[in-house]
Structure 1
């Protein structure tokens, strides 16, 4: 009897894998990534399927408008922050170290000042904490922040190379930890997953 039940279970699993290989692979990938979470990275929540890419825009320090599509091609660690945000000040050097570690390796840190952050204040913020390798991008009217449903700062969204949201972190984290590095290395090596709307 046990052999019969085992045969039925394995057959059902096999048929499930044939019927929806993308879903089965996505679940396995998520389980692998979740197992890499440790310390502050335990707050990183992976979606069951990538969310559709957002086609929003933002400004650079000089006032030039850019589109989210320009960021595609790498895994993006998109960090929303503000000059008045104390936890942002604490985690920004770790994001800077992460950027340095992954330079030219398929992962890019993109910092986005959310709300009315004057450019001189943004520059002073980076100078005071010794960060010089992250972009001074800004979202002064919070249009992009609203599209990403950012409700508090800091908030970090991980996007795949096609701009789809894979995971989200609310609050500060040690982005230069062994856990964060392992997760991003795994994401950089993963083939593109099928898209979906689950969260």
Structure 2
């Protein structure tokens, strides 16, 4: 019964989240160098991944995502949806994934607030964005390599 309930909640979350064809919600976060990142300043196409430092699925998924980031040279922006993940925790965690661009709190936004604007209910949640800033694919849970590569093709990425 609990399993069915969890499946229903995940499905509901996917239905409520930012959908393919929609523009990214507004946000203003900082990259590790202190540069402000907004939907207008994202290098596009791009991948946005919501995660948490304690998430076991994220830990299992990140090496594969990182390989895709290395192979395609597409920017992967990672945003922790865990309010307790401090800047120090995020930057230490990301040392193992140098191709990822962690987005951190600014004086205008907090990462978990941005996750709420995307209507993200769990982690990892991955959004693939095209050059116009529209979502072309959403993965609630683990994003498989082939499905992610297909989504990048939809976003206009020329794969190697």
Matched, 1:185 2:142: no
Encode CA deviations 1:178-197: one digit per residue, 9 max, x unaligned.
4432442343159xxxxxxx
CA 1:63–1:48: 2 relative to 1, 3 Å: closer
Counterpart in the other structure of 2:143 = 173
CA 1:124–1:50: 2 relative to 1, 3 Å: same
* Residue ranges of structure 2 left out of the alignment (5+ in a row): 1-13
TM-score normalised by L of structure 1: 0.59
Encode CA deviations 1:105-148: one digit per residue, 9 max, x unaligned.
xx322111223211221233234xx3222112135352211111
Instruction: Pick one of 97, 106, 127 that aligns with 1:157.
Output: 127
Which deviates more, 53-62 or 77-86? 53-62
CA 1:97–1:172: 2 relative to 1, 3 Å: same
Matched, 1:134 2:100: yes
CA 1:114–1:64: 2 relative to 1, 3 Å: farther
**1:157, distance to aligned residue in structure 2 (A):** 1.1
Counterpart in the other structure of 1:28 = none
Counterpart in the other structure of 2:88 = 120
Q: Which has the higher helix share?
A: 1
* Coordinate RMSD, CA, aligned: 2.7
Does structure 2 conserve the Cα–Cα contact (< 8 Å) formed by 1:159 and 1:167? yes
* Residue ranges of structure 1 left out of the alignment (5+ in a row): 1-43, 191-199
SS at match of 1:185: helix
Matched, 1:143 2:109: no
Does structure 2 conserve the Cα–Cα contact (< 8 Å) formed by 1:85 and 1:153? yes
Structure whose CA Rg is larger: 1
Runs of 4+ that moved beyond 3 A? 61-65
TM-score normalised by L of structure 2: 0.72
Instruction: Pick one of 48, 51, 71 that aligns with 1:78.
Output: 48
CA 1:48–1:135: 2 relative to 1, 3 Å: closer
Matched, 1:108 2:75: yes
